[in-house]
Amino acid sequence: MKEGLNYYPTNAQNFTVDEWLIMLQEDNCFSPILMEAMYALIFEMDGSGSAKQISEITGRSYQNYNRSMAETVKNLRKRRYVFIEDIRKKSKKERYWSHFYNGYYKNNLFIWEVKDNLRIAFIKFISGTEENSFSNINSEKGINSEVDEGTRRYRIHYHIERNSKIVNYSKREFIKKNGSLFCEACNFSFKKTYEIDFIEAHHVLPLYIGKRITKGIDLMMLCANCHRAVHSKKWNDKSIDHFLDYMKNNSIHQNKL
């Protein structure tokens, strides 16, 4: 908490770094949208910002954020983690944000500040190890910091792409809309070629969304080859639009429909 700020009083409890870390490691509990918001706040905005400011970075509408916190608290409660209910007096609604953030008003904006222990746990989680590479980034500028940037980015992709609940949901939605699963970049269909229902889901990192702005979950369907290519050094840091345009303009790469 920053000094001199008038924090909004709540009765949410403060978890330790280790407690947060255990919760972050639970499968399918933390909403990917909340992960993305915390990622944006911590790595892009110094740990605090309004919902609108997060939206500007992620390209997602800010109404998503309240929902993502409610969803996460509910998921964690189902796994028997105790979150003391923080109910607003007048509306009787639960203040879900208070579990993850400290809040205060600044220039008429309500600012969410990732709680200290959660921020530390989140960085550890994203960096993967206890003595994580994150602490080295500030001291070692140059090639290493570039590598670590990429690693961090990759980890958030990875986390979301492995969240089976959200991936399966996206696949079902895709089938509903398009009839079957196929690669959105090259049209390859595992069904047609191998007679199996398979496709990989790629999380389009909001920081790199160009024209292709999706609402809700930013997962696109890619065959294993295209997915590999998208995560390669050549394409990793570029908007997915560059890759899609490239594939469109290089018909040699296209599989026959």
Which residues sit at the interface with Zn ion, rule CB under 5 A?
157, 183, 185-186, 188, 202, 223, 226
Min. distance of Cβ 174 from Zn ion in angstroms? 14
Min. distance of Cβ 193 from Zn ion in angstroms? 12
Closest CA to 186 of 219, 220, 213, 217: 220
Residue type at 125 in one-letter notation: F
Min. distance of Cβ 223 from Zn ion in angstroms? 3
Q: What angle do CA 30, 32, 36 make, to 5 degrees?
A: 110
Residue closer to Zn ion, measured from CB, 15 or 243: 243
Residue closer to Zn ion, measured from CB, 38 or 221: 221
Min. distance of Cβ 3 from Zn ion in angstroms? 41
Residue closer to Zn ion, measured from CB, 50 or 58: 58
Strand, coil or helix: 31: coil
Cβ atoms 52, 62 nearer than 8 A: yes
CB 63: neighbour CB atoms within 10 A? 10
Closest CA to 119 of 227, 41, 63, 50: 41
Residue closer to Zn ion, measured from CB, 12 or 183: 183
